[in-house]
Amino acid sequence: MPLQSDVQQEIDQYIARLEWLYRNVEAWIAEREPNARAHRTTVELAEEATGPYKAESLEIIRPGKPAVRLIPKGIFMVGAHGRVDVWSRLGREIVVWLDKGEPHLHVKSSEETGTLEQIVSPLYPVSQEGWAWADERQRAPRYLTEPVFVDELLDRLTT
> pLDDT tens for residues 73-92?
999 887 788 999 999 999 99
Q: What per-residue confidence (pLDDT) applies to 110? A: 54
With helix as H, strand as E and coil as C, how does the chain read? Answer: CCCHHHHHHHHHHHHHHHHHHHHHHHHHHHHHCCCCEEEEEEEEEEECCCEEEEEEEEEEECCCCCCEEEEEEECCECCECCEEEEEECCEEEEEEEECCCCCCEEECCECCCCECCEEECCCCCCCCCEEEECCCCCCCCEECCHHHHHHHHHHHHHC
pTM of the model: 0.82
> pLDDT tens for residues 114-127?
554 444 444 555 66
Q: What per-residue confidence (pLDDT) applies to 119? A: 46
